[in-house]
Structure 1
Amino acid sequence: MNTHSEYDPDDNFARAFGAESVLDEDAALEAVAWQLLLLINPGDEDAAMQQFATCRDALDEGTDPVQALRDAIDWKSGFFIAGDDPAGLIDVLNELASRYDLRIDWGVEDPTDEDFLDDAEVPALIGTAFDRLREHHYTLWTWETGGEDHAGWITRQQDDEALPLVAGALGFHVRPGAG
């Protein structure tokens, strides 16, 4: 029988948040940021480490965690694009997908064609990219920017449960695709 008074040396989680524990908020924030970077840089710990160094410097200067991470990952493992920039969205998502040796089928022969771009809407393109990436077991996530902009990243589908928890701990309100 396990009671609260018993000491389990392997129960690090329980001891980390007990009444006698001292929680270093900066260290906790950095640990969660590191976990997010590992999720959005699957299999590329070097890229995660470079982005973490950039993020840590910004956090040390007092930058908001969401802003620090956004700046550290932009066009490397994430995107932040204006709501009226379908060409920019296609470019950045093609760049991010290429990290996994993937090509997004946008449903047209030339997604840079002006006629296509004139009619294209960013949320619909995000939906298309989400569907195409799921075919290869990846998930395109977006997070609320508080405005008309769109932002997000790509993770492995197997991380679909972890990503919202980690991102939420940092203040990102995420959803799969354009959701």
Structure 2
Amino acid sequence: MPLPFMTADSAFDAHEDGDEVLAHADQDRWRRPYRPGPWRVAGAALLLLLAAFMLLATMIIAFAGAGAVAIVCLVAALSVIGAALRLLVAGIWVSPKGLRLVGFLRTRSLTWSEVADVRTAQQPVRWLGLPRTVQGQALTVAGRDGAALPVLLTDHNADFLARAEAFDRATDAVEAWAEEYRAVPA
């Protein structure tokens, strides 16, 4: 069964330069310009393993005759499965429409006309999303109206920790999309 949220678009993997990254840009769908990192996949795998045990417990409880408790366990297991899937979907997505920052609890979309600049900068970044900060690279976006926008990607997040080359390819791809589609100010 194909899982489209687990793989990057083939155009992102096949080409290194920004011009050819946009080869399939005429399709009107959201794409992640990179693959989920090993930390993100490992976290989701652990959640799915936990959900498997919860479903086994649900089955045992249901066969024991405690239907109400089994339903509660089933809802809890389905919630853990939903959390694992949401963890895998989280990240940056691009399309000809704009840029989408998918977090664990919320999603924020920006049209290309709202984006003034997308660039990579050296700055303190959060390590694996924890409060601890380290010096690293971050892909930042500047809004046209001067609004404070969140950091898109860092080289120390769950997708790019110890994967500097993948971070460089992902930032190049997002910058290429921004260069191609953001509106030039009048």
Task: Answer whether TM exceeds 0.5 for this pair.
Answer: no
Structure with bigger helix share is: 1
TM-score range, shorter chain: 0.3 to 0.5
Structure with bigger strand share is: 2
Normalization by structure 1: what TM-score? 0.34
Normalization by structure 2: what TM-score? 0.33
